[in-house]
Structure 1
Amino acid sequence: MARLNADQLAAHLQRGLAPLYLIYGDEPLLALEAADAIRAKARQEDYAEREVFTVESGFSWQNLLASGNSLSLFATRRIIEIRIPTGKPGTEGSQALQDYCARLPDDTITVVTCPKLDKQAQATKWFKALEQAGTAIPVYPVERTRLPQWIAVRLAAQKQRADATTLQFLADRVEGNLLAAHQEIQKLGLLFPEGPLLFDQVREAVLDVSRYDVFNLSDAMLAGDAVRLVRIMEGLKGEGVAPTLALWALTQEIRTLAKLKLGQRKGAALPQLFREARVWESRQGLVQRALGRLNEIRLVAGLKQAAALDRMIKGLARGDVWDELLQLGLGIART
């Protein structure tokens, strides 16, 4: 029926409720907030009863179908929540979801939640049935470039504001950890009155709750953000992340870029190349910008550096592994 971004949900709910919502993605805070917003709107519309089905070992899909086919005992309107933590309902579950969508119960709002689903999962019959029966809401981590604005919107909701420098500082401190970011923003609302926030106030109040992973590292390299790349590399090293993982993340991206460059040289269309390389739609802009500034010579040199680093990690060559990892990332980021 429709697909919405999480930030479009509020406007959608003002126009009315859909009969079914599918929330999926790898950002727990945004998924939780989306489900809460739907429940709140449903309560306003007198959906008073709520049933929750969690798909786990031994789950009976017949119980779900029976509930959908039965009338509410205590209220005329109800919410049915179907939680699929693995994102894999199985053969029986797939058919049950299709049957459920074919005969959506009256006076019922259904909310289905799943983790991040890859393109293969989104091509399944059960996913398509859910999407066609209602509204799909994918929730993805907030991109680094959008994080200061995301923070500004949250501050505005509690009638506070901050200048660009302060927002950037906050973004640096909470990157990669939206739930902790949400808690820190709430704390600012408790500590300080409505109105402008001073940089010194925020610096003293906010903890460094940033949490990096190797995917943040590769994103910084693709974005050409050398300063952020250095900060993330230092964070990973300090957290005791194995250098093998950092090398894997960087090498995967460089290898993908090299394949895309080769495909472009042979005349293939970029959308087709993205599909073949399994580049997610949410990352295609980032990858395309990196392709625009990098040439094949630089990418081949990067792969050779990565091979030398692999030998170093295995003890077959001498050198400072983390320093060489940094040089590898900066070599791509600064090109």
Structure 2
Amino acid sequence: MPSPSPDAFIAQLARGLAPLYVIHGEEALLALEAADALRAAARSAGYLEREVLTVEGAHFDWSQLRDAMSSVSLFASLKLLEIRIPGGKPGTEGGEALQKLAAQPPQDTITLIQLPKLDRTQQKAKWFAALEKSAVMTEARPVGRNELPGWIARRLKLQGQSLNQEAASFFADRVEGNLLAARQEVDKLGLLYPRGELQLSDIRDAVANVARFDVFHLSESWLAGDVARATRMLDGLAAEGEAPVLVLWSFTEDVRMLIKLGRGLKDGRSVRDMANELRLWGDKQRLAEPALKRIGGARLMRALTECARVDRQIKGVEPGEAWDSLKRLAATLAAR
């Protein structure tokens, strides 16, 4: 079955309930909201009994699932059965049990399976393929910086408020990487201001700076040529106590990736052909080739030399502040 976004998943519940649902992904807020919406829809439809099974480790007794699927309640004829697999690995016995569940979901029961972010191997497993075929499935993916203003605007619209593009971008800068805090800030605006359009001054006054940055998304900023965002992310990582050696590793790996990409393109290969080899996935795959053309081979080689110099600064064998050098490196790579 097609996999709707969490928002589409929630909207779809109003059109009727299916026997089997799967929610997986790393964005906890979106996964929680989707599960809460399903629980509310199930209660409204008369599924008043709820049973939760949590698979913790390899020693989980899967006969509990078989019992839950076959049991009949004395108090309610309709049941919501939740199966939580926080590790994402049901094991051999669990995989077989989930395949049987997918092939024949229990009657008078809505089953919800909750999973974390799954790697490629897990998504290719037989049990996941069986669920994918039979269940209504949604993936709670992180909301990227480019998507965040739209996400904020949709949330505000639900409470009768709106904002212009400049205010939405400012809001997104303050909450990037912290979706739960973003929702809390949206809720706060609903309490502080009446319905209607919010001004940039309102956002400046009310929205706290709660952005959280992930070093693994740092390259997206300078690959896109966004000097301001790259600098803001580095300041945030430094303030959060991130180790500069990890940040340097991110720069070094992606500079080397662009150099290898340039060599491959000269040999007639395509970006798609090299994606797995160079770990080019998601936004990075889209940004890599334009960044390569903008930066050029000579500047990339100089950047690699600069990475070696920052490494010596981190180790204390060369003068200078590593974070300042990393910001200059980001600005150089992001410059248009």
Shorter-chain TM-score bucket reads over 0.9
Counterpart in 2 of 1:3? 3
CA RMSD of aligned residues (A): 2.0
- Give the deviation of 1:27 after TM superposition: 0.8
* 1:119–1:231 CA distance, 2 compared to 1 (3 A): same
Higher mean displacement: 58-67 or 24-33: 58-67
Q: Does 1:44 align with 2:44?
A: yes
Counterpart in 2 of 1:191? 192
* 1:30-41 paired onto structure 2 within 5 Å: 30-41=30-41
Counterpart in 2 of 1:55? 55
Counterpart in 2 of 1:26? 26
* 1:18–1:259 CA distance, 2 compared to 1 (3 A): farther
- Give the deviation of 1:132 after TM superposition: 1.2
Cα distance in structure 2, aligned partners of 1:216 and 1:261: 21
**Residues 25 and 140 of structure 1 are in contact (CA less than 8 Å); yes or no, is this contact kept in structure 2?**
yes
Q: Normalising by the residue count of structure 2, what TM-score does the alignment of the two structures yield?
A: 0.92
Higher mean displacement: 198-207 or 74-83: 198-207
**Residues 174 and 180 of structure 1 are in contact (CA less than 8 Å); yes or no, is this contact kept in structure 2?**
yes
Q: Which runs of 5+ in 2 are unaligned?
A: none
Cα distance in structure 2, aligned partners of 1:62 and 1:12: 32
- Give the deviation of 1:112 after TM superposition: 1.3
Q: Does 1:180 align with 2:175?
A: no
* 1:57-136 paired onto structure 2 within 5 Å: 57=57, 58-136=59-137
Cα distance in structure 1, aligned partners of 2:292 and 2:120: 23
Corresponding residue SS for 1:80: strand
**Residues 163 and 197 of structure 2 are in contact (CA less than 8 Å); yes or no, is this contact kept in structure 1?**
yes
Higher mean displacement: 191-200 or 114-123: 191-200
Cα distance in structure 1, aligned partners of 2:55 and 2:297: 47
Q: Normalising by the residue count of structure 1, what TM-score does the alignment of the two structures yield?
A: 0.92
* 1:217-236 paired onto structure 2 within 5 Å: 217-236=218-237
Counterpart in 1 of 2:209? 208
Letter in 1 for 2:76: A
Cα distance in structure 2, aligned partners of 1:78 and 1:123: 30
Cα distance in structure 2, aligned partners of 1:259 and 1:136: 37
- Give the deviation of 1:78 after TM superposition: 1.6
- Give the deviation of 1:256 after TM superposition: 2.5
- Give the deviation of 1:56 after TM superposition: 0.8
Q: Which runs of 5+ in 1 are unaligned?
A: none
Question: Could you list the per-position Cα deviations for residues 296-335 of structure 1 after superposition, in whole angstroms to 9, with x for gaps in the alignment?
Answer: 3333332222222222212232222112111222222114
* 1:135-284 paired onto structure 2 within 5 Å: 135-281=136-282, 283-284=284-285
* 1:206–1:29 CA distance, 2 compared to 1 (3 A): same
Cα distance in structure 2, aligned partners of 1:331 and 1:227: 12
**Residues 2 and 134 of structure 1 are in contact (CA less than 8 Å); yes or no, is this contact kept in structure 2?**
no
**Residues 86 and 116 of structure 2 are in contact (CA less than 8 Å); yes or no, is this contact kept in structure 1?**
yes
Corresponding residue SS for 1:145: coil
**Residues 220 and 283 of structure 2 are in contact (CA less than 8 Å); yes or no, is this contact kept in structure 1?**
no
Cα distance in structure 1, aligned partners of 2:141 and 2:100: 29
Higher mean displacement: 275-284 or 143-152: 275-284
* 1:235–1:69 CA distance, 2 compared to 1 (3 A): same
- Give the deviation of 1:64 after TM superposition: 1.0
* 1:278–1:80 CA distance, 2 compared to 1 (3 A): farther
- Give the deviation of 1:174 after TM superposition: 0.9
- Give the deviation of 1:278 after TM superposition: 3.2
Cα distance in structure 2, aligned partners of 1:20 and 1:289: 42
Cα distance in structure 1, aligned partners of 2:127 and 2:281: 21
- Give the deviation of 1:272 after TM superposition: 2.6
Counterpart in 1 of 2:297? 296
Cα distance in structure 1, aligned partners of 2:265 and 2:192: 54
Number of aligned residue pairs: give it.
Answer: 335
Question: Could you list the per-position Cα deviations for residues 216-260 of structure 1 after superposition, in whole angstroms to 9, with x for gaps in the alignment?
Answer: 422211221101111111122222221111111222222223333
Cα distance in structure 2, aligned partners of 1:152 and 1:166: 10
